[in-house]
Amino acid sequence: MTHASASNKQRLLVTGAAGRVGTVLRPYLRERFDLVLFDRVAALDATHDEQVVVGDLGSYDSVSSAMEGCDAVVHLACVHGLDLTFDASLEGNVRGTMHVLDAAVEHGVRRHVYTSSHHVFGLHDAKTFDASHAPFAPDGHYALGKAFGELAYRSHGMRHGWRTMVIRIGNAAPRVPDARAGRMWVSARDLADLVRIGLTSPDVEFDVVYGVSNSQHPLFDNDRAHALGYEPRDWAEDHWADDFLSDADMPDELGGRFVGGAYAAHSPVPTGTK
């Protein structure tokens, strides 16, 4: 189903549009799509042709209202943090994802990009990690929610015949903070290119790819993304932060030996602890 708009562009719902990743992606996405910006706070830098919808993933009616009339969805919204508890993660990362999926069924939206995370592999040793064979090893409640989201999208996609790209984002900071992040860093324009492929390629069915730019020592095999036409333009080594930390300089609390870094090195708050 394609919905007409005044600009003849497809209408794209972006959840978490006021967040860091949503904010840097939107200038690229608005070139091709009419954007509906959904978040708990208004995107203050929205342009006149972007529709701002202040709502909550925890409210199905709120999500459904934002979804109405859309052709596709980029689901970015989530809650995260080293001390995120299981209870605090449920509303946004589990129930909220189900609201997005159910609203898409209601309104016949069949094209999706879901942003997952490298943290679904976070507890693996970075030196011996093999992404092509590694099982999930979530490094906290945030990562558990992302793993749930991947499975939920696979279930809905197979049942309803959707085209879905899951992007496991590496490190999307403006500059590369350390050597671990350098193996999985992604620039805004490269990530936007990958999102566009997920939304437009006729070859996408249910595909899992990695949101990473070029690196001299990549952590992830991104062959499927390249097969779909992804050609990253940026190199991590060209974007080191001024205070960039080498492997040898990283303190233990940053978790340099883990795929998930600080999340894997950090002891999570026990389930049920407020």
Q: Give catalytic residues, as residue numbers.
A: 142
Which residue is it, tokens 């909550």?
56
Which residue is it, tokens 């309104």?
107
Please list, in sequence order, all residues whose beta carbon lies within 8 angstroms of the beta carbon of residue 116, skipping any fewer than 6 positions away: 146, 147, 149, 150, 166, 167, 168, 169, 208
Is residue 171 helix, strand or coil?
Answer: strand
| Secondary structure E strands in the chain | 10-15, 33-39, 51-54, 72-75, 111-117, 163-169, 176-178, 206-211, 240-245
Which residue is it, tokens 């069949």?
110
Cα(9)–Cα(31) distance, integer angstroms: 9
Q: How far is CA 65 from CA 16, 38, 103, in A?
A: 15, 10, 9
C-alpha angle 211/95/51, rounded to 5°?
65
